Structure 1
Amino acid sequence: MAKTASIAKPQGRSRIGNGKDLLPGVNGRSSIMRRYREIYGQLVSDMGGDPSEAKSIIAKRSTTLAIWCEEAEASMANGGDIDIGEFTTATNALRRLLADIGLERRARDITPSLADIIAGHAA
């Protein structure tokens, strides 16, 4: 008989799974990590605030590529060399990932549930 995957209990989840960390073993105070949180947070917000696990994973990969591209652009702006092939590949991959999660902003659903409506009338 094949085993099926189960969802871990909240106390058995990793720090990433329970939302305490975005990346394993990373100092959250570094400038790169602060920028990572900014971009990732904005992508999540653009998706309506509650992405599926798959969309969250794509948003993390998109964030990584966006930061890599920013670093390459900053290097170029400071007179450094840029590998246009690597940059173009990263930019195209980023565009495809962003297209997968949606390039347009989505409004967060604030419609009250039936339970909220009933509780409001009961109060």
Structure 2
Amino acid sequence: MTNGSRLHIELRDKQSPWARRLRDLLALMVSDLGGCENCSEAEKSLVRRASMLTLQLELIEQKWAQSGGEASDKSLITYQRVANSLRRILESIGLKRRSRDITPSLTDYLRQRQEEHGAEEE
């Protein structure tokens, strides 16, 4: 996650639906925090845990859907505990989406204008 491409965990099958969903959740949550460059290491750690807990809840829900919506008492208790843990983590990092400043620097803006102007003359 240091450069936005690693999870800091080694997945056996990086192309499995499970691994892809985990990467998607991680990217979405980091984006909500304004991008990797705007996250502290503590926030990155919490985002990894929140992503994994979200995935586990989705897998439990999928099992319930495949069994016609039936859930055992044990699975309901597990689901409730995981959901509560996830809520506490999400409250720690904030539940609101943070905007990221995408305004180009003056140097970048002038370079872009110069490139556009040069392309028009050709």
Matched pairs, number: 105
Question: Aligned-pair distance for 1:53?
Answer: 1.0
More helix by share: 2
Q: Which structure has the larger Rg?
A: 2
Cα root mean square deviation, aligned = 2.3
Please report how far the alpha carbon of residue 33 of structure 1 lies from its aligned counterpart in structure 2 after TM superposition. Answer: 0.6
Unaligned ranges ≥5, structure 1: 1-15
Letter in 1 for 2:83: T
| 2:117 paired residue number | none
Tell me, in whole angstroms, the C-alpha distance in 2 between the residues paired with 1:38 and 1:89. Answer: 23
Q: Percent identity?
A: 33
CA distance in 1, matches of 2:77, 2:108: 59
1:96 maps to 2:88: yes
Cα distance in structure 2, aligned partners of 1:90 and 1:108: 30
1:5 counterpart residue number: none
Superposition TM-score, scaled by structure 1 size: 0.73
TM-score (norm 2): 0.73
In structure 2, what is the Cα distance between the partners aligned to 1:96 and 1:104? 14
Gaps of 5+ in 2: 115-122
